[in-house]
Amino acid sequence: MTKNAISWIIRIVISALFIVSAVAKLYPSPYFAISTFEVKQLYPLGFSANFAPYFSRFLIGIELALGILFLLPVKVRKIITPTSILLLLIFTTHLMYETLKNGGNSGNCGCFGSLLPMTPIEAIIKNIVAVVVLIWFYKLNSKETNKNKAWFLSTVTLAAILGLFMVAPIRPIESTVEINVSEINKTSIPTEKDTIIKTIESFILKSNKETIEKVNETIDEPNLTQSGYSKYFSDIDRGKKILCFFAPGCDHCQDSAKELTAMKKIDKNFPDVNIIFMNEEVYKIPEFFKIAEAIYPYKVIEIIPFWNELGNNRNTPGIFYLWNGNSVKVFDGIDANKFDGKTLKKIIQKPYSKFK
Protein backbone atom coordinates (compact mmCIF):
# COMPACT_ATOMS: atom_id res chain seq x y z
CA MET A 1 0.00 0.00 0.00
CA THR A 2 1.40 3.40 -0.95
CA LYS A 3 2.11 6.21 1.52
CA ASN A 4 -0.56 8.30 -0.15
CA ALA A 5 -3.21 5.58 0.35
CA ILE A 6 -2.21 5.12 4.02
CA SER A 7 -2.29 8.89 4.45
CA TRP A 8 -5.87 9.14 3.17
CA ILE A 9 -7.04 6.23 5.33
CA ILE A 10 -5.68 8.04 8.39
CA ARG A 11 -7.27 11.29 7.27
CA ILE A 12 -10.67 9.61 6.96
CA VAL A 13 -10.39 7.92 10.36
CA ILE A 14 -9.30 11.13 12.14
CA SER A 15 -11.97 13.10 10.31
CA ALA A 16 -14.64 10.66 11.48
CA LEU A 17 -13.31 10.95 15.05
CA PHE A 18 -13.64 14.75 15.13
CA ILE A 19 -16.95 14.95 13.22
CA VAL A 20 -18.63 12.27 15.36
CA SER A 21 -17.29 13.95 18.50
CA ALA A 22 -18.74 17.31 17.43
CA VAL A 23 -22.11 15.97 16.25
CA ALA A 24 -22.51 13.75 19.33
CA LYS A 25 -22.24 16.83 21.54
CA LEU A 26 -25.43 18.07 19.84
CA TYR A 27 -27.48 14.95 20.63
CA PRO A 28 -30.41 14.61 21.28
CA SER A 29 -30.99 18.34 20.63
CA PRO A 30 -28.32 21.05 20.17
CA TYR A 31 -29.23 23.49 22.94
CA PHE A 32 -29.97 20.78 25.49
CA ALA A 33 -26.77 18.86 24.71
CA ILE A 34 -24.50 21.93 24.70
CA SER A 35 -26.04 23.29 27.91
CA THR A 36 -25.54 19.93 29.60
CA PHE A 37 -21.94 19.87 28.37
CA GLU A 38 -21.37 23.33 29.85
CA VAL A 39 -22.84 22.52 33.26
CA LYS A 40 -21.28 19.08 33.67
CA GLN A 41 -17.91 19.62 31.95
CA LEU A 42 -17.06 23.33 31.88
CA TYR A 43 -18.53 24.65 35.14
CA PRO A 44 -16.44 22.21 37.25
CA LEU A 45 -13.34 23.59 35.49
CA GLY A 46 -14.16 27.10 36.68
CA PHE A 47 -15.82 28.49 33.54
CA SER A 48 -18.33 31.20 34.34
CA ALA A 49 -21.97 30.98 33.26
CA ASN A 50 -21.39 33.95 30.93
CA PHE A 51 -18.23 32.61 29.23
CA ALA A 52 -19.08 28.88 29.02
CA PRO A 53 -21.76 29.22 26.26
CA TYR A 54 -19.27 30.94 23.93
CA PHE A 55 -16.36 28.61 24.72
CA SER A 56 -18.47 25.44 24.26
CA ARG A 57 -19.67 26.49 20.80
CA PHE A 58 -16.18 27.62 19.78
CA LEU A 59 -14.65 24.31 20.93
CA ILE A 60 -17.24 22.13 19.16
CA GLY A 61 -16.93 24.32 16.06
CA ILE A 62 -13.15 23.75 16.00
CA GLU A 63 -13.69 19.99 16.28
CA LEU A 64 -16.15 20.07 13.40
CA ALA A 65 -13.84 22.24 11.27
CA LEU A 66 -10.86 19.91 11.80
CA GLY A 67 -12.99 16.92 10.83
CA ILE A 68 -14.13 18.62 7.62
CA LEU A 69 -10.66 19.87 6.68
CA PHE A 70 -9.15 16.38 6.97
CA LEU A 71 -11.55 15.28 4.22
CA LEU A 72 -10.80 18.17 1.87
CA PRO A 73 -7.93 18.22 -0.66
CA VAL A 74 -5.82 20.67 1.37
CA LYS A 75 -2.47 20.41 3.09
CA VAL A 76 -3.00 19.15 6.63
CA ARG A 77 0.57 18.41 7.72
CA LYS A 78 1.81 21.87 8.78
CA ILE A 79 -1.22 23.41 10.49
CA ILE A 80 -4.18 21.05 10.79
CA THR A 81 -2.31 17.98 12.10
CA PRO A 82 -0.36 19.85 14.84
CA THR A 83 -3.57 21.64 15.86
CA SER A 84 -5.36 18.31 16.14
CA ILE A 85 -2.56 16.82 18.24
CA LEU A 86 -2.57 19.87 20.51
CA LEU A 87 -6.34 19.71 20.98
CA LEU A 88 -6.23 16.01 21.83
CA LEU A 89 -3.39 16.57 24.30
CA ILE A 90 -5.40 19.32 26.03
CA PHE A 91 -8.40 16.98 26.28
CA THR A 92 -6.17 14.19 27.62
CA THR A 93 -4.59 16.44 30.25
CA HIS A 94 -8.04 17.47 31.46
CA LEU A 95 -9.21 13.85 31.58
CA MET A 96 -6.13 12.79 33.53
CA TYR A 97 -6.79 15.55 36.04
CA GLU A 98 -10.40 14.42 36.42
CA THR A 99 -9.29 10.80 36.79
CA LEU A 100 -6.84 11.63 39.57
CA LYS A 101 -9.41 13.85 41.26
CA ASN A 102 -12.58 11.78 41.00
CA GLY A 103 -11.62 8.35 39.66
CA GLY A 104 -11.89 7.38 36.03
CA ASN A 105 -13.96 4.24 35.85
CA SER A 106 -17.38 5.85 36.23
CA GLY A 107 -19.33 8.73 34.74
CA ASN A 108 -19.42 10.10 31.23
CA CYS A 109 -16.45 12.20 30.12
CA GLY A 110 -18.64 14.04 27.58
CA CYS A 111 -16.30 13.40 24.62
CA PHE A 112 -19.20 12.02 22.58
CA GLY A 113 -21.96 13.63 24.63
CA SER A 114 -24.78 11.30 25.68
CA LEU A 115 -24.80 9.56 22.28
CA LEU A 116 -21.77 7.40 23.08
CA PRO A 117 -21.08 7.48 26.84
CA MET A 118 -17.41 6.98 27.66
CA THR A 119 -15.54 6.95 30.96
CA PRO A 120 -12.48 9.24 31.38
CA ILE A 121 -10.14 6.22 31.27
CA GLU A 122 -11.64 5.03 28.00
CA ALA A 123 -11.40 8.54 26.56
CA ILE A 124 -7.75 8.86 27.58
CA ILE A 125 -6.92 5.61 25.77
CA LYS A 126 -8.85 6.78 22.69
CA ASN A 127 -7.03 10.13 22.64
CA ILE A 128 -3.58 8.57 23.10
CA VAL A 129 -4.20 6.18 20.20
CA ALA A 130 -5.37 9.10 18.05
CA VAL A 131 -2.26 11.16 18.93
CA VAL A 132 0.04 8.23 18.05
CA VAL A 133 -1.73 7.80 14.71
CA LEU A 134 -1.44 11.53 13.97
CA ILE A 135 2.27 11.53 14.79
CA TRP A 136 2.73 8.57 12.45
CA PHE A 137 0.71 10.45 9.82
CA TYR A 138 2.92 13.53 10.30
CA LYS A 139 6.08 11.48 9.72
CA LEU A 140 4.81 9.70 6.60
CA ASN A 141 6.01 12.56 4.39
CA SER A 142 3.38 11.74 1.81
CA LYS A 143 3.16 14.17 -1.08
CA GLU A 144 0.71 17.04 -0.70
CA THR A 145 0.40 18.78 -4.02
CA ASN A 146 -2.39 21.12 -2.95
CA LYS A 147 -1.52 24.52 -1.58
CA ASN A 148 -2.86 25.81 1.70
CA LYS A 149 -4.84 28.98 1.33
CA ALA A 150 -5.33 30.88 4.60
CA TRP A 151 -8.63 32.33 3.47
CA PHE A 152 -10.04 28.85 2.73
CA LEU A 153 -8.96 27.34 6.06
CA SER A 154 -10.26 30.33 8.02
CA THR A 155 -13.55 30.33 6.09
CA VAL A 156 -14.23 26.65 6.84
CA THR A 157 -13.32 27.15 10.49
CA LEU A 158 -15.39 30.30 10.87
CA ALA A 159 -18.36 28.67 9.10
CA ALA A 160 -18.23 25.69 11.46
CA ILE A 161 -18.11 27.91 14.56
CA LEU A 162 -20.91 30.19 13.33
CA GLY A 163 -22.94 27.12 12.44
CA LEU A 164 -22.85 26.07 16.10
CA PHE A 165 -24.16 29.46 17.19
CA MET A 166 -26.96 29.13 14.63
CA VAL A 167 -28.14 25.61 15.52
CA ALA A 168 -27.87 26.30 19.27
CA PRO A 169 -28.45 30.03 19.87
CA ILE A 170 -27.42 31.29 23.31
CA ARG A 171 -30.44 31.88 25.51
CA PRO A 172 -30.60 34.16 28.53
CA ILE A 173 -30.19 32.14 31.72
CA GLU A 174 -33.59 32.45 33.35
CA SER A 175 -35.10 30.32 36.05
CA THR A 176 -38.83 29.75 35.70
CA VAL A 177 -40.37 29.55 32.25
CA GLU A 178 -44.09 30.09 31.81
CA ILE A 179 -45.29 27.82 29.00
CA ASN A 180 -48.91 27.36 27.99
CA VAL A 181 -48.98 23.66 27.30
CA SER A 182 -52.56 22.98 28.38
CA GLU A 183 -55.06 23.70 31.13
CA ILE A 184 -52.94 21.71 33.58
CA ASN A 185 -50.58 24.68 33.71
CA LYS A 186 -53.00 26.28 36.14
CA THR A 187 -51.46 24.14 38.85
CA SER A 188 -48.10 25.87 38.35
CA ILE A 189 -49.21 29.49 38.62
CA PRO A 190 -48.55 31.01 42.08
CA THR A 191 -51.48 32.84 43.69
CA GLU A 192 -51.54 35.92 45.88
CA LYS A 193 -52.34 33.62 48.81
CA ASP A 194 -49.14 31.66 48.13
CA THR A 195 -47.11 34.86 48.26
CA ILE A 196 -48.68 35.87 51.59
CA ILE A 197 -48.05 32.42 53.09
CA LYS A 198 -44.44 32.54 51.94
CA THR A 199 -43.95 35.96 53.58
CA ILE A 200 -45.48 34.77 56.86
CA GLU A 201 -43.36 31.61 56.77
CA SER A 202 -40.19 33.67 56.30
CA PHE A 203 -41.16 35.84 59.26
CA ILE A 204 -41.79 32.78 61.45
CA LEU A 205 -38.43 31.27 60.52
CA LYS A 206 -36.62 34.43 61.59
CA SER A 207 -38.54 35.49 64.71
CA ASN A 208 -39.70 32.20 66.24
CA LYS A 209 -36.90 29.78 65.40
CA GLU A 210 -36.32 28.68 69.02
CA THR A 211 -40.02 27.98 69.59
CA ILE A 212 -40.23 25.92 66.38
CA GLU A 213 -37.21 23.85 67.39
CA LYS A 214 -38.75 23.00 70.77
CA VAL A 215 -42.04 21.97 69.15
CA ASN A 216 -40.23 19.84 66.56
CA GLU A 217 -38.28 18.04 69.29
CA THR A 218 -41.58 17.12 70.95
CA ILE A 219 -43.25 15.79 67.80
CA ASP A 220 -40.09 14.10 66.49
CA GLU A 221 -39.60 16.13 63.32
CA PRO A 222 -36.60 17.99 61.90
CA ASN A 223 -36.36 21.71 62.44
CA LEU A 224 -38.06 23.86 59.83
CA THR A 225 -35.49 25.16 57.35
CA GLN A 226 -35.36 26.72 53.91
CA SER A 227 -34.59 24.27 51.14
CA GLY A 228 -34.20 26.94 48.46
CA TYR A 229 -37.06 25.51 46.41
CA SER A 230 -39.83 27.71 47.83
CA LYS A 231 -39.35 30.04 44.86
CA TYR A 232 -40.98 27.28 42.81
CA PHE A 233 -43.49 25.88 45.33
CA SER A 234 -44.50 28.05 48.27
CA ASP A 235 -45.32 25.17 50.65
CA ILE A 236 -42.38 22.89 49.77
CA ASP A 237 -40.71 23.50 53.16
CA ARG A 238 -43.76 22.56 55.24
CA GLY A 239 -44.04 18.91 56.21
CA LYS A 240 -43.05 15.92 54.08
CA LYS A 241 -42.73 16.58 50.35
CA ILE A 242 -41.45 14.79 47.25
CA LEU A 243 -39.68 17.09 44.78
CA CYS A 244 -38.94 15.59 41.37
CA PHE A 245 -36.58 16.81 38.66
CA PHE A 246 -37.85 15.35 35.41
CA ALA A 247 -37.41 15.77 31.65
CA PRO A 248 -40.84 15.43 29.96
CA GLY A 249 -39.59 13.01 27.30
CA CYS A 250 -37.47 10.85 29.63
CA ASP A 251 -38.77 7.27 29.85
CA HIS A 252 -37.14 6.71 33.24
CA CYS A 253 -38.73 9.91 34.57
CA GLN A 254 -42.14 8.78 33.34
CA ASP A 255 -41.71 5.37 35.00
CA SER A 256 -40.66 7.01 38.27
CA ALA A 257 -43.68 9.32 38.20
CA LYS A 258 -45.98 6.36 37.57
CA GLU A 259 -44.45 4.47 40.51
CA LEU A 260 -44.92 7.51 42.77
CA THR A 261 -48.58 7.65 41.74
CA ALA A 262 -49.03 3.98 42.61
CA MET A 263 -47.43 4.56 46.03
CA LYS A 264 -49.66 7.57 46.62
CA LYS A 265 -52.80 5.56 45.83
CA ILE A 266 -51.86 2.92 48.41
CA ASP A 267 -50.80 5.35 51.16
CA LYS A 268 -53.21 8.22 51.84
CA ASN A 269 -50.54 9.94 53.96
CA PHE A 270 -47.94 9.80 51.19
CA PRO A 271 -46.14 13.15 50.82
CA ASP A 272 -47.32 15.64 48.21
CA VAL A 273 -45.47 15.35 44.91
CA ASN A 274 -44.15 18.44 43.08
CA ILE A 275 -42.27 18.41 39.77
CA ILE A 276 -39.67 20.69 38.22
CA PHE A 277 -39.51 20.01 34.50
CA MET A 278 -36.55 20.79 32.26
CA ASN A 279 -37.41 23.14 29.40
CA GLU A 280 -36.89 20.43 26.80
CA GLU A 281 -39.73 18.77 24.85
CA VAL A 282 -42.29 20.57 27.02
CA TYR A 283 -45.02 19.65 24.54
CA LYS A 284 -44.79 16.14 26.02
CA ILE A 285 -45.92 17.27 29.48
CA PRO A 286 -49.60 16.32 28.92
CA GLU A 287 -48.49 12.90 27.70
CA PHE A 288 -46.15 12.64 30.71
CA PHE A 289 -49.06 13.06 33.12
CA LYS A 290 -51.15 10.52 31.20
CA ILE A 291 -48.37 7.97 31.68
CA ALA A 292 -47.97 9.00 35.33
CA GLU A 293 -51.75 8.53 35.78
CA ALA A 294 -51.95 11.73 37.83
CA ILE A 295 -51.42 15.47 37.50
CA TYR A 296 -49.00 17.12 39.92
CA PRO A 297 -48.12 20.77 40.53
CA TYR A 298 -45.11 21.63 38.39
CA LYS A 299 -42.80 24.31 37.09
CA VAL A 300 -40.80 24.46 33.87
CA ILE A 301 -37.31 25.96 34.14
CA GLU A 302 -34.48 26.49 31.68
CA ILE A 303 -31.94 23.71 31.13
CA ILE A 304 -28.93 25.28 32.86
CA PRO A 305 -30.86 26.36 36.01
CA PHE A 306 -32.41 22.88 36.02
CA TRP A 307 -29.02 21.18 36.22
CA ASN A 308 -27.86 23.69 38.83
CA GLU A 309 -30.91 23.01 41.01
CA LEU A 310 -30.62 19.24 40.63
CA GLY A 311 -26.86 19.30 41.18
CA ASN A 312 -24.17 19.23 38.50
CA ASN A 313 -23.04 15.72 39.46
CA ARG A 314 -26.57 14.31 39.37
CA ASN A 315 -28.74 13.05 36.51
CA THR A 316 -32.43 12.62 35.77
CA PRO A 317 -34.67 11.32 37.11
CA GLY A 318 -33.96 13.21 40.32
CA ILE A 319 -36.25 12.61 43.29
CA PHE A 320 -35.79 14.45 46.59
CA TYR A 321 -37.53 13.50 49.83
CA LEU A 322 -37.83 16.73 51.82
CA TRP A 323 -39.03 17.06 55.41
CA ASN A 324 -39.64 20.57 56.71
CA GLY A 325 -37.23 21.79 54.05
CA ASN A 326 -34.50 19.29 55.02
CA SER A 327 -33.18 16.99 52.29
CA VAL A 328 -33.56 13.52 53.85
CA LYS A 329 -32.99 11.31 50.79
CA VAL A 330 -32.00 11.97 47.17
CA PHE A 331 -32.33 9.53 44.27
CA ASP A 332 -30.88 10.34 40.85
CA GLY A 333 -29.94 8.81 37.53
CA ILE A 334 -30.41 5.23 36.41
CA ASP A 335 -27.36 3.64 38.04
CA ALA A 336 -26.46 2.90 41.66
CA ASN A 337 -28.47 5.79 43.12
CA LYS A 338 -31.56 5.33 40.96
CA PHE A 339 -35.05 5.73 42.39
CA ASP A 340 -36.26 2.79 44.48
CA GLY A 341 -39.85 2.93 45.71
CA LYS A 342 -39.31 0.33 48.45
CA THR A 343 -36.40 2.29 49.91
CA LEU A 344 -38.36 5.55 49.81
CA LYS A 345 -41.35 3.91 51.54
CA LYS A 346 -39.15 2.69 54.42
CA ILE A 347 -37.53 6.10 54.83
CA ILE A 348 -40.86 7.95 54.81
CA GLN A 349 -42.20 5.72 57.59
CA LYS A 350 -39.19 6.37 59.85
CA PRO A 351 -39.52 8.92 62.68
CA TYR A 352 -36.92 11.67 62.54
CA SER A 353 -35.13 10.44 65.66
CA LYS A 354 -34.13 7.28 63.76
CA PHE A 355 -32.08 9.36 61.32
CA LYS A 356 -29.85 10.83 64.05
pTM of the model: 0.77
Instruction: Calculate the average pLDDT of the chain.
Output: 85
**If pLDDT is split at 50, 70 and 90, which confidence band does 97 have?**
confident
Rounded mean pLDDT of 198-221? 56
What 3-state class would DSSP assign to 79?
A: coil
**If pLDDT is split at 50, 70 and 90, which confidence band does 351 have?**
confident
Residue pLDDT, tens place only, 143-159:
665 566 788 889 999 99
- Which residues have CB under 8 Å from 329's CB, separation 6+? 320, 321, 343, 344, 347
pLDDT at 141: 65
Lowest-pLDDT range of 13-17, 24-28, 274-278: 24-28
% of residues, the chain, pLDDT over 90 = 56
Q: How far apart are CA 257 and CA 129, in angstroms?
A: 44
pLDDT at 145: 56
Rounded mean pLDDT of 12-29? 93
**If pLDDT is split at 50, 70 and 90, which confidence band does 175 have?**
low
Instruction: Tell me the domain boundaries of the chain.
Output: 3-167, 176-355
Which CATH number is 176-355 given?
3.40.30.10
